[in-house]
Amino acid sequence: MRRGNKTRRRPSRPARSGWWTSAGAARLRGLVRPLAIVLACGAVLFAGSVALGRLDAHVKRALLRDRPDSSLSFVDLPERLVILAQGDLDDAVAPLLDGAWTDDRLCRAMAQRLATVGWVAKVRSVHRTSDGHFAVSCRYREPVAMVAHQGDWLLIDAEGARLPGTYRYDGTWRVIQGVAGPAPKPGLIWPGADLQAGLRLLAALAAEPFASQLAGVDVSNYDGRTDPRASRIELLSNQPGGRIRWGSPPGMELEENSVSQKLAILRENFRRTGRADAGHLVIDVSTFPDRFTVPG
């Protein structure tokens, strides 16, 4: 018996959109939110970085623009040194102030440069304040006398260090003349025992009531180099051509008056006559402990 033909039914295919319409769509929705968060955070970070960069540049421009004209001060510079030393100190650090004052190396660089200036004995500190101002603290060398040298006048401090510059004679300073050694560079000690002897004598006379009547010290004959029989050191009075024959350098006396005996004679003269030289053009205080002599 012949069987009749039967029509076979094909299985139905899932719709093409089925892969995302159900569970796939849920997974995709789960990824969208974290991705959006990541992108948003990146955008915020990028915008913040740009903003910070612009802010930093703005701050630097503002600091440079608002920096005070007087950006440097020497806080403990003695008043008497302002005219003498201020220009040299400013010149030493002026090139550094042309750069960015926010550079952390500036304070050290300033200290190093100032240490080479002859007026500065020691740099204590260099401080930078928030407004771009630099405050410098130093120990300074202060002049105590002028030294006559090859037609010029040079300043020295109490230790004998030469100070910067050359000068004209100024009667307000005590002078030391007759120094034999060459002048050193500014900031260095002047070599020679003659200059040191002159400084010691000026220091011994500084507090005396008659000190203003003394113009300085002549050490031309130190160690008897021009005349072995003459006084080694002479004081210069403020009378034209006036001299007080002192004798040997302080501390080197042999058969002559001590420093205290010589000073006592000059004090007595000043008490009696109002003049350390008793009104004479030239006197000698080296021989007799109780009186001076007038050379014939």
Choose the final residue of a domain: 140, 161, 195.
140
Question: Does residue 154 fall inside a structural domain?
Answer: yes
Instruction: Verify that 148 and 237 share a domain, yes or no.
Output: yes
The pTM of the whole model exceeds 0.85: no
Q: For residue range 227-281, what is the model confidence (pLDDT) as tens digits?
A: 999 999 999 999 999 999 999 999 998 889 999 999 999 999 999 999 999 999 9
**In which domain, by residue range, is 81 found?**
72-140
Instruction: Verify that 202 and 264 share a domain, yes or no.
Output: yes
Exposed e or buried b per residue across 10-39, where buried means at least 16 C-beta atoms within 10 angstroms of its C-beta:
eeeeeeeeeeeeeeeeeeeeeeeeeeeeee
CATH code, 148: 3.40.50
Instruction: Verify that 161 and 259 share a domain, yes or no.
Output: yes
Instruction: Verify that 170 and 87 share a domain, yes or no.
Output: no
Choose the final residue of a domain: 140, 156, 187.
140
**DSSP codes joined into one string, 23-42:** HHHHHHHHHHHHHHHHHHHH
Mean pLDDT of 68-74: 69
pLDDT band at 101 (very low <50, low <70, confident <90, very high): low
Q: Which pair of structure tokens corresponds to residue 153?
A: 């006048």
Instruction: Verify that 230 and 172 share a domain, yes or no.
Output: yes
Instruction: Verify that 195 and 251 share a domain, yes or no.
Output: yes
Q: For residue range 5-43, what is the model confidence (pLDDT) as tens digits?
A: 444 444 444 444 444 344 454 554 555 565 555 565 555
Within a 10 A sphere around the Cβ of 288, how many other Cβ atoms? 13
Instruction: Verify that 136 and 223 share a domain, yes or no.
Output: no
Question: Does residue 66 fall inside a structural domain?
Answer: no
| pLDDT greater than 50 at residue 70 | no
Choose the final residue of a domain: 80, 110, 140.
140
Instruction: Verify that 190 and 246 share a domain, yes or no.
Output: yes
Question: Does residue 273 fall inside a structural domain?
Answer: yes
Instruction: Verify that 132 and 232 share a domain, yes or no.
Output: no
Instruction: Verify that 122 and 148 share a domain, yes or no.
Output: no
